[in-house]
Amino acid sequence: MNLPQGPKTGTTLYALTNEFLSRRYSFEELMRETARRRLGPGLEIVGFQSIRGFPQVSDAFADRFRQLTRQLGLTPSSLAINADQEIRRGQLMSEDEMVAYHEPQIRAAAKLGLPVARYQYGAGPEVIRRLVPLAERLGVRLGLEIHAPHHANHPDVLKFRDMYAQVRSPFLGWIPDFSSTARTVPPSFLKFFLAKGVPQKLIDLAMQTWHETGDAMARMTRYKEAARKSGFDEVQFNELSLVFPMFGREDPRSWLELMPEVVHVHGKFFGFDAAGNEEAIDYAAILPLFRDSGYQGFISSEWEGHMYSNADAFQMIERHQALCRKLLAA
């Protein structure tokens, strides 16, 4: 059961990547199982992952999607769209091309009844500025996903914040991803690398460097230099370097600066400790910030376990939402 006021629970189908790519569930079956397990009511989908032929959306698909959400008691919350600025080998798309690439994706969100389009940094502030009139006409809010290694005061984010301040449109917003405000690297992620044969000493080096001061990319460079100097296998230390861009260490209170313009939230999670708490992200510190600031939108449960685990994603989402409900009600 969701609280009548405050943040509401939901699921992004991206969290069910293993179930979808293994063909155990079709797109429609994912929706049905999400509803059956009461993992909504919010439903986020990923355009290029979920819809064949995206960004073109047929009338039949749109009608069926709208019918299913009503029938299943799900509330369309967000459509994840792509920038893909490097889709051509060796040549970036121009600004005009980027605008043209985003337009049909935003139209798809409107056609499907999804009120938010999650966009990516690669779009750039000027492209998004040019897309605001379209978003306003269609009633689709554009939300920049702020995912590690970015954070509320990262230079890349500040460029968008400056543009937002100039345009002042209620259709521009933010989508915080809790990966930016982790307190450590998930132990389950490290166990995966250990099981692959990565030496414990290399993992210890990565963790020592991850906890040092400095920008995430600078720490990653220091880690790689130290690993190379110590003679570790280059493939192994490069793979393990994912811990730096994937898990940020910013203070959860940094989200408060963006709160008035938050349009959706990615409740990123990785695993749970013996007490049922998220193993790397301090949900007890983060969720009250959103609740007490008056955020009324959806928090989509987003598990990225497909990168390192074959666990049942539905069960993981159930545990995540139980934790969220408990903390939001406290």
| Catalytic residue list | 147
Angle (nearest 5°) at CA 11 between 5 and 14 = 150
DSSP for 102-136? HHHHHHHHHHHT-SEEEE-GGG-HHHHHHHHHHHH
DSSP 88: B
Residue 309 near residue 188, CB atoms below 8 Å: yes
d(CA 301, CA 317): 6
Q: Is the dihedral of CA 125, 130, 132, 138 positive or negative?
A: negative
Query: Virtual CA dihedral for 12, 14, 18, 19, nearest 10 degrees?
Result: 40
- SS3 state of residue 68: helix
DSSP for 255-319? GGGGGGGB--EEEEE--B-TTS-BSSB-HHHHHHHHHHTT--SEEEEEE-GGGT--S-HHHHHHH
Question: In 71-104, which positions are buried (b, 16+ CB within 10 angstroms) versus exposed (e)?
Answer: ebebbbbbbbbbbbbeeeeeeebeeeebbebbbe
Please name the residues in contact with 230: beta carbons below 8 A apart, sequence gap of 6 or more: 205
**First-to-last CA distance in the chain?**
15
- SS3 state of residue 74: coil
